[in-house]
Structure 1
Amino acid sequence: MNLQEIIEELCSYEFEKEWFEFKENFDNDDELGEYISALSNSAAYCGKKYAYFIWGINDKTHNIVGTNYNFDKNAKNGEPLKHYLERKLSNNVFIDFNEVYYQEKRLVILIISAAKTIPVDWDGQRFIRVGSSKTKISKFPEREVYLFKVLREGLPTIENTPSKYQDLTFNKLFGYYGSKGIILKENTFKKNLGLLTEEGKYNIQAQLLSDNSHIPLRVSIFDGETKASNLFSVREFGYNCLLYSLDELLRYGDVLNIIQADERNRIVERKEVSLFESKAFNEAIINAILHNKWIEGNEPMISVFSNRIEILSRGSLAPTQTMEGFFLGESVPVNAKLSDIFLQLHISEKSGRGVPKIIETYGKECIEFRKNSIVVKIPFNWINVVGNKVGNKVGNKNELTNNRTIILKEIRNNPNVTTVQLANILCISETAVENNLKYLKDNGYIKRNGSNKTGYWEVIK
C-alpha cells in the first residue's frame, strides 16, 4: 500500500488498534522510543508486518488536523533523531519517517517493522500495547509468553494448536463427504484435511469436524430490540460436527424468515414478502462460521431481536486483510485449511460474493467492527409494524404467533412431527404446544388425518 492507502485504511477503524497510534503534535523523543517498542511488539502479536505512528490525526475523532512535528531534527543530546532512536532500540526493528500531504494537511508517518525473533526493547525495556495504552510488557506476563511463542512458532492457528480432546471420532464427517459424492480414505483423511499437528495430535480443526465439536452454537431470540428484553427462546445447534451444525443453522434461517402476505395495492394476487433476504443471511452465517477465531475457544453468536438478526463472529480481519479488500470481497481466510474444506464441499466459493452480497442488500452500515468481533446486522422487513415486540409483530393470542408459524413450518417439513418434538424445538411445554395445535385446527390451518397415534398432520392453509 502507498502512504495515502495506509492513512485511509487506519482511519477506517472506529478505534485505534494495538498496532497503530495517532497523535497531533506529540514531541517526546524517549517516549517515542517506548511507543516504537510497544507498536513493533504489538504488530507481531497481532500478526501484522508493520506498525504505524502518525502525527496529524486526532486520536479520538480520527479527523485529519495536520501537524508541525519536525522529524528531521536533533534529539536532546544533539544527535539526529533517527540515529538516536535506532541506537537505543534493539537492532531487530526497522523504522522509516515519511512526510505526506493528505486532504491538504501535512502528516508525518513513522513506519515500524514488526518484531522478529525476540521482542523489541527501548533502552533495555520492552513495551507493548494493551488496547490503546502503552505499557511495560513485564506487567502482562501472559502476553509476554504469548508474544515469545508467536515470534518463535508463528501465530497460533486451528491447525497448529492441539485440541484438549484427543478421543475424537469422525463418522459424521465421512457421512457428510459421502453425501457430496466424495469418498474419504480412512488412512489419509487426517493428513489431507489437516486434522493433525506436527506432533501428530488432533488439532482444533479436527475437534470442530469431529462427531462432537464440544462447542455450543446457539440462536437466542429476544422479544424486544435489546438483550435487556425477555429471552423468548434458545435453539441449540452445537456439540455436533461443524458441517452439520452449519446446515442446521441455515435451515433454521428458513424457519425464522416468515413469509408475509402483502395485501397493499392488491389487484388480483397478493404479494408474498419475506422477513429478510435469505441469501444475505446465509452468507453472513457461513462467513461467521468460517472466519471465527476458534483458536480462542469462543463460538459465533446469533441473536434475533424484534427488528433484526445480529450475527457475531469472534476475532477481527485476517492480519493481511484490508478494510477496502474486505468490502470488495477480496477474501483472506482467517482459517485457511477450513476455508479449503468449505470450497471443496461447495459451501463457499472463491468468487468473494459473500460480503458484497450482504452490503448490496443492506449497505456497509449493516457490518459493525467491534474491538474483538465483527457483527452483521440484518434488519427485518415487517409489513405491518405493531409495537416493538416479536409477539405483537407476528400477531396476538388469537392470530398466527411466532410459535404457531414455526409449528406450521415444522408440520410442512415433517407431517409426523410429535408434540414432544415440537416442545423441544420451541422450548415450551407440551401443554403449550397442544394449545397452539388446537388453535390451528379450530381455525382451519391444519387437520389431523388418522388417529393420534398412527395418523399425521396436514397443513390446509
Structure 2
Amino acid sequence: MALQKNNIKKYPKREIQLFKILDGRIETIETIPAKYQDLTFNKLFGYYGSKGIVLKEETFEKNLKLRNKDGEYNMLAQLLSDNSHIPLRVSIFEGKTKSAPLFSVREFGNNCILYSLDSLLQYGDVLNIIQADETDRVVERKEVPLFDNKAFREAIINAVLHNYWASGNEPMISVYSDRIEILSRGTLAPAQTMEGFYLGESVPVNEKLSEIFLQLHISEKSGRGVPTIIDTYGKDAITFRENSIVVTIPFNRLNEVGKKVGKKVGNSDVDRPILNPRRQTILLEIEQNPYITKHELAEKIGISTTAIDNNISYLRQNGFIDRVGKTKGGYWRIIEE
C-alpha cells in the first residue's frame, strides 16, 4: 500500500488512469466504437496470408476482438480495415522548425494500418541518403547513412503500436533539415514506469494490437525498441510531453547536402552548391529509379513538368547528374562526389 501511495505522488495522472482502466471506465481501442461501421477486411486477410497465416471468415472478428460489448465494430477494427479513414502523414520542412516553409507532405494513411506501417518504413529507406565518406580512404570508400535505420524502424513501429488511438489522433512524423521527429499521442501505459520504459520492459498501450504485431512478427516481446534508440542516440532522443512522446532521429551529415569541395566538373575545380529540399528529393527519386521520366517525377513530387525541366537543368549544369543514352530508352546517372 505504501508503494502505491508513493506511485500516486510521483505519477498521479497515470495512477488515476490505471484505476479507471481496472474499473472499466477508460475507453480503449477495443471498447470505443469505430466511427465507421461499414468496414471490410480484404487487405487484412491478404496481409495475414502473406505471413503464412490463414484467417477464418467465421472466427476472425472474435479472435482479433474487433467488436465491443455492444456488438459494434471498435476502433481496432477500423484501424485494421481496408480503409481506416485515418491519415498517416510525413511532413517535410525546408528548415529546422515548423516556421520554415513546408516542402511536401507524403500520405500513407487511409489504408489498413498494417500496410500503412509498411509504407512508412519503406519511405524511411528513401529518406536515408547514403553518403560517401572519403576520409582516410585507401581502397574502398565508406558508405555512411544519414541516420540509423534500426532506430528509425523501432521508433516508427513504437509510435504506431503505442499511439493512443482512442483519442482520435494519429502519430505525426516531421522531417526537418537536421532531424526526424516521430510523435505518438498519449503517454506511458498506466502500468508502466519510467525506469521500466528505459529498460525496455514491454507494457503495451494497445494490448490486442500488440498481440497482432507479435503474431505477424512486426514487433517482438523482447522490448529492444527503446534500448535500440537509446544505445544509438542516448536518452535525450526521447522527450516526454504532457500528452505525447517524441523520438528525435538526428541526421549524421558528413557535409552539407549538395556541397562538394574540389569536385571537377569539366576541366575546373568548383564547389557544388547546396541543394534545396526539392532538388534533394529529385536526386532521391532518380537514385531509386534511374529510368524515371520527367512526367513521373512531376507526378511524384507534385510540381509541373516545366518545373522539373528547370530543376533537372540545374542539376546537370552543376554536375549532380547527367543523361546516358537518348531521351527515350536512356537513363539518369548520379555523378558521384
User: Smaller-chain TM-score range?
Assistant: 0.7 to 0.9
Spell out the pairing of 1:209-220 with structure 2 (5 A cutoff). 209-220=80-91
3-state SS of paired residue (1:346): coil
For 1:431, the aligned partner's letter is T
For 1:299, the aligned partner's letter is E
Are 2:34 and 1:158 aligned? no
Contact 1:448 / 1:457 at 8 angstroms: preserved in 2? yes
Structure exhibiting the larger radius of gyration computed from Cα positions: 1
Q: Report the identity percentage.
A: 63
In the aligned structure 1, how far is the partner of 2:116 from the partner of 2:141?
A: 36
> Which residue, 167, 186, 192 being the options, matches 2:57?
186
In the aligned structure 2, how far is the partner of 1:384 from the partner of 1:460?
A: 17
> Which residue, 96, 99, 106 being the options, matches 1:225?
96
Of the structure 1 ranges 276-285 and 302-311, higher mean CA displacement relative to structure 2 is found in 302-311
For 1:426, the aligned partner's letter is I
Contact 1:280 / 1:358 at 8 angstroms: preserved in 2? yes
For 2:321, the aligned partner's letter is Y
Are 2:219 and 1:344 aligned? no
Structure 2 unaligned regions, length at least 5: 260-270
Q: 1:285 maps to what in 2?
A: 156
Contact 2:103 / 2:277 at 8 angstroms: preserved in 1? no
| Distance change >3 Å, CA 166–CA 307, structure 1 → 2 | same
Q: 1:457 maps to what in 2?
A: 331
| Distance change >3 Å, CA 353–CA 441, structure 1 → 2 | same
Q: Which one has more relative contact order, counting CA pairs under 8 Å at least 6 apart?
A: 2
> Which residue, 122, 127, 139 being the options, matches 1:251?
122
Q: 1:311 maps to what in 2?
A: 182
TM-score normalised per structure 2: 0.85
| Distance change >3 Å, CA 9–CA 456, structure 1 → 2 | farther
In the aligned structure 1, how far is the partner of 2:282 from the partner of 2:5?
A: 52
- Report the Cα offset of residue 439 of structure 1: 4.9
In the aligned structure 2, how far is the partner of 1:288 from the partner of 1:187?
A: 31
Are 2:316 and 1:445 aligned? no
For 2:104, the aligned partner's letter is S
In the aligned structure 1, how far is the partner of 2:43 from the partner of 2:249?
A: 31
In the aligned structure 2, how far is the partner of 1:337 from the partner of 1:194?
A: 8
In the aligned structure 2, how far is the partner of 1:151 from the partner of 1:198?
A: 16
Are 2:77 and 1:206 aligned? yes
| Distance change >3 Å, CA 230–CA 329, structure 1 → 2 | same
Structure 1 unaligned regions, length at least 5: 11-16, 20-41, 50-146, 386-392
| Distance change >3 Å, CA 457–CA 344, structure 1 → 2 | farther
Are 2:271 and 1:271 aligned? no
| Distance change >3 Å, CA 151–CA 349, structure 1 → 2 | closer
- Report the Cα offset of residue 405 of structure 1: 4.4
In the aligned structure 2, how far is the partner of 1:425 from the partner of 1:318?
A: 39
For 2:213, the aligned partner's letter is F
3-state SS of paired residue (2:26): coil
- Report the Cα offset of residue 413 of structure 1: 4.1
3-state SS of paired residue (1:243): helix
Cα RMSD for the two superposed structures: 2.9
Spell out the pairing of 1:128-143 with structure 2 (5 A cutoff). none
Are 2:306 and 1:435 aligned? no
In the aligned structure 2, how far is the partner of 1:410 from the partner of 1:196?
A: 42
For 1:361, the aligned partner's letter is T
3-state SS of paired residue (2:135): coil
Q: How many residues are matched?
A: 323
| Distance change >3 Å, CA 2–CA 223, structure 1 → 2 | farther
In the aligned structure 2, how far is the partner of 1:158 from the partner of 1:409?
A: 38
Contact 1:162 / 1:203 at 8 angstroms: preserved in 2? yes
| Distance change >3 Å, CA 158–CA 8, structure 1 → 2 | closer
